[in-house]
Structure 1
Amino acid sequence: MDSRFRLGGIAALVCAMCFVIGFTMILFVMPDIHVNGDERLQAILAQPRLIQSWYLIIFVLFGIALLLLNRSLYLPPAEASGQLQLIGALIGYVWAAYVFAIGFISVLTIEYLLHQSATQIEQAWPAIFAIQTGLGDGVEWIGGIWMVMINLSLYYHRVVSRQLSVYGGIVGITGLFTLYPPFAAVGGVFGVLQILWFCWLGSLLLRQKVRLLPT
């Protein structure tokens, strides 16, 4: 059980780190990547390996850490059962699959673009950009659903302090606002707030101040 808590705590901190790296890139290193499609393409062609590494961290590494965190919070199915917890766990896996899809598409399409002529890049990029944004690039609604569900479970079973679960629920509701296009920018607020939640939960897991949720 100690190793389960330790792994979950590390995974939560890695999730927070991925958000920090994501914001650092957008705000300070390469702000052009988040302006529009044309600016993103120019940034990709200028620094393809840097952006591929960034995508691997914020999507693929985050997805792996999320899977580990999600699993570390629950008892084995044979030991307990609960519909709310099961739904929350499944949504966590869906979110991880979602970010895996975005991450690998983003990384592999960069590799594809690097081997095309300027004309082919110009023709292919609108479709690639549409796929990235269509999958939810920058929209955290599914993460918001997971945050709401997991914190409802944490609150109901009193697994962590009420302050943490209430705060996490508020963060989740913030993420749900990104479903409405005019509020897409709220995704940034969601990410910042989630950094604190991941760090808070991670510290509790590392100190074994958390009980496992039934599944």
Structure 2
Amino acid sequence: MGGMAALYMAAAYLATMPYFLLVLDYQSVVNPTAKLALLVAHQGSLYAFNLLVYVVFGLVLTVLALALHDQLGSTTPMMARVIVGWGIIWSCLLIANGAISNMGMEYVVNLQVHDMGGAVAAWQVIESIVNGLGGAGGEVLGGAWVLLVSVAGLQSIRLPKALNWFGLTTGMVGLVSNLPPLRESIVVFGLLQIVWFIWLGIILLRTRRPKSA
């Protein structure tokens, strides 16, 4: 289940990045009214993507965190518990992100029919909240979580050393993205995390669950 969870998370990234960067091109739109027009035109697909990439992603993340606890807990019990704790916190923020984004989008799309100015103002507030929850200002939790998993993997020797070193690099890139001058590195973090999730998923699918003492 942990392996399948990791592969789902990679697939979610792979589906989302082309949609938001190329098809929707939301990041290049700076005018608040134009952003609202995009929401109105793509409400259905955005709702589905938010559900799959934030809400379901967050739920699946808890499965992966628990699978890693089982995998690493016999040799690094404290780190394994922290992995679950941080994973649940990250999961809750992602689920809240998707839920608030979808409900807020529905609200402003209905509001703009009779109050365009109010809808634009409301979405600016909602978008700020969603961006904060989703790590748009830098991957604090995502980077720290991958970094912790990789450190635990090196100490436990239950995950391949190459994967762990790759994860350390990925986590550091995520943390660096919190610095305003290096904010764009969040895209690099996303690409590296796709590879890390796929690699981790394959490893977990091939690894037998450690026997309880």
What band does the TM-score fall into relative to the shorter chain? 0.7 to 0.9
Q: CA deviation at 1:86?
A: 1.6
TM-score, normalised by the number of residues in structure 2: 0.88
2:30 partner letter: N
Q: CA RMSD in A?
A: 2.6
Q: How does 1:96-111 map to 2 (within 5 A)?
A: 96-111=91-106
> In structure 1, how many angstroms separate the alpha carbons of the residues matched to 2:163 and 2:211?
15
Distance verdict in 2 for CA 1:19–1:34, change over 3 Å? farther
Distance verdict in 2 for CA 1:9–1:198, change over 3 Å? same
Distance verdict in 2 for CA 1:162–1:37, change over 3 Å? farther
1:126 partner letter: Q
Relative contact order, higher structure (CA 8 A, sep 6+)? 1
> What residue is the counterpart of 2:163 in the other structure?
164
Work out whether 1:54 is the aligned partner of 2:26. Answer: no
Distance verdict in 2 for CA 1:151–1:187, change over 3 Å? same
Distance verdict in 2 for CA 1:146–1:187, change over 3 Å? same
Question: Which one of 118, 121, 143 corresponds to residue 120 of structure 1?
Answer: 118
Work out whether 1:133 is the aligned partner of 2:131. Answer: yes
> In structure 1, how many angstroms separate the alpha carbons of the residues matched to 2:132 and 2:188?
20
Distance verdict in 2 for CA 1:213–1:148, change over 3 Å? farther
Question: Which one of 84, 87, 92 corresponds to residue 92 of structure 1?
Answer: 87
Distance verdict in 2 for CA 1:27–1:119, change over 3 Å? closer
> In structure 2, how many angstroms separate the alpha carbons of the residues matched to 1:109 and 1:129?
9
Contact (CA 8 Å) 2:21, 2:27: kept in 1 or not? no
Q: CA deviation at 1:37?
A: 6.1
> What residue is the counterpart of 2:197 in the other structure?
198
> What residue is the counterpart of 2:8 in the other structure?
14
Q: How many residues align?
A: 208
> What residue is the counterpart of 1:23 in the other structure?
17
Contact (CA 8 Å) 1:146, 1:172: kept in 2 or not? yes
Q: CA deviation at 1:73?
A: 1.6
> In structure 1, how many angstroms separate the alpha carbons of the residues matched to 2:27 and 2:43?
11
- The C-alpha deviation readout for 1:174-203, integer Å capped at 9, x for no partner, is 000121122221111101001111111111
Name the SS of the counterpart of 2:64 in structure 1.
helix
Name the SS of the counterpart of 2:207 in structure 1.
coil
Q: CA deviation at 1:104?
A: 0.8
Contact (CA 8 Å) 1:88, 1:149: kept in 2 or not? yes
2:105 partner letter: I
Bigger drift between 16-25 and 78-87 goes to: 78-87
- The C-alpha deviation readout for 1:8-55, integer Å capped at 9, x for no partner, is 111000000111111111232111355436243221121111111111
- Percent identity reads 28
Q: CA deviation at 1:209?
A: 6.0
Unaligned runs of 5+ in 1: 1-6
Distance verdict in 2 for CA 1:185–1:213, change over 3 Å? farther
Contact (CA 8 Å) 1:140, 1:175: kept in 2 or not? yes
1:21 partner letter: A
- The C-alpha deviation readout for 1:72-97, integer Å capped at 9, x for no partner, is 12239x97872222222211111111
> In structure 1, how many angstroms separate the alpha carbons of the residues matched to 2:79 and 2:31?
39
Bigger drift between 9-18 and 125-134 goes to: 125-134
Contact (CA 8 Å) 2:104, 2:123: kept in 1 or not? no
Distance verdict in 2 for CA 1:211–1:147, change over 3 Å? farther
TM-score, normalised by the number of residues in structure 1: 0.87
